[in-house]
Amino acid sequence: MNKMLFKLIIFTAVASSLAFVGGCRSKNANSADMYGSDNLYGDPLMGDMPLNDIGGLPADGDRSVVDPVFFAYDSSQVNPEEASKCEEVASLLKKGKYAGVICEGHGDERGSREYNLALGERRALAVRDYLISLGVDPSVIQTKSFGEEMPSDMGHDEGAWRKNRRVEFAMY
């Protein structure tokens, strides 16, 4: 009995120290200076920046603050002419006007729904990477892909599709 109790104490101690180490590591991973400013926009996605668990973080925000970033067909590259919108978001976050942002990725109606979910997520992650390269703390940027499920234009032509391939900024 005592032996079991002892084991439990040891286990608890080890578990909490592991949790402590884990906590430190994620804190380091969240500091922006770990990632150089050589993440150029327009580059293929860097794709190695772990995301936070969303527990307790807001799931919604104000989408009217900064206009959406638009994308080419089947592409998740942030085009140079769209970059200024990301810069605006970065500046608002760095000034502390908002606590964080949800980058909401969308696609047009063409292609499979599940593939478009992944594509929307890659668009959101590309914007997130660019924001990180501008010095935004990764821990305040969430991504959320809606795939083709939430078009902003209900039309079925290139004009509508162009408006639907986007990442919206939900600021909170």
- Nearest to other proteins of 38, 48 (CB atom): 48
119, 76 Cβ separation under 8 angstroms:
yes
Element (H, E) at 7: helix 2-30
- Contacting positions for other proteins (CB under 8 A): 44-54, 59-60, 74, 111-115, 117-119, 121-122, 125, 142-147, 149-150, 156
DSSP 67: P
Q: How far apart are CA 82 and CA 27, in angstroms?
A: 31
Give least dist CB 54 to other proteins, A: 5
Give least dist CB 6 to other proteins, A: 26
Task: List % helix, strand, coil for the chain (3-state, nearest 5).
Answer: 45, 15, 40
DSSP-assigned beta bridge partners for residue 169: 103
Location of structure tokens 């940027």? 141
Quick one: how many helices (H) and strands (E) in the chain?
4, 4
Give least dist CB 1 to other proteins, A: 28
- Nearest to other proteins of 82, 121 (CB atom): 121
- Nearest to other proteins of 7, 156 (CB atom): 156
Element (H, E) at 90: helix 83-94
Give least dist CB 60 to other proteins, A: 7
- Nearest to other proteins of 31, 84 (CB atom): 31
Beta strands (DSSP E) in 17-138 are 69-70, 101-106
- Nearest to other proteins of 55, 95 (CB atom): 55
Give least dist CB 52 to other proteins, A: 5
